[in-house]
Amino acid sequence: MARLRLEIPDQLPFTTALIIRVTDLNYGGHLGNDRLLSYVHEARARFLAERGISELDAFGVGMAMVDAAILFKAEGFMGDRVEISVGCREVSARSWEFVYRLWLPDRNVLLAEAKTGMVAFDYTLRQVTLIPPGLRSILEAASVSPQS
């Protein structure tokens, strides 16, 4: 079986942290895969908020996620501090990717790597649209190259 590969740089321009809660655990007693995706969403929302925008209003357009990929590397347990770093890449006229590294600093362990494909979206017209210049500037400022 071919395995998914994500080439995420070690250093990304934005980092935030979350603590794994009991409600984030699955029946295996570790961080659930659905919760890990919600951590990625939270980190992305914080990245955008720090820049004065949101997924619903980024210089007059919204954002829609069109795909997601996660590579799980380790288990996370209740009380673990998770540092989530965020960057961007592959910015085009209408789309881009957010990339993420999720790190357990207290154990010095990589928890996961992820990416989400995004498009600029006009929620009034219900269609993909061009990335406005202000949003493009933010995305390009946070752009990273794939790790070699």
When pLDDT is cut at 50, 70 and 90, the band that residue 3 belongs to is confident
The per-residue pLDDT for 84 is 98
**pLDDT, position 147:** 61
**How many Å apart are CA 49 and CA 66, to the nearest integer?**
21
pLDDT for 145 equals: 86
pLDDT band at 148; cut points 50, 70, 90? very low
CATH architecture of 14-141: Roll (3.10)
Task: Report, as an integer, the average pLDDT of 98-121.
Answer: 98
Closest CA to 107 of 143, 73, 60, 144: 73
Contact 104, 115 (CB under 8 A): no
End-to-end CA distance of the chain, in Å? 23
> Residue 24 — pLDDT band, cuts 50, 70, 90?
very high
Mean pLDDT over the full length of the chain? 96
List helix spans (H) across 51-132. none
Q: What are phi and psi of 134, to 5 degrees?
A: -65, -40
State pTM to two decimals.
0.95
51-107 pLDDT, tens digit per residue, is 999 999 999 999 999 999 999 999 999 999 999 999 999 999 999 999 999 999 999
Among 35, 36, 58, 148, smallest CA distance to 103 is for 36
Q: Please report the pLDDT score of residue 76 as a whole number.
A: 98
Q: Could you tell me the residue ranges of all domains in the chain? A: 14-141
- Burial class from Cβ neighbours inside 10 Å (0-12, 13-18, 19+) for residue 65 reads middle
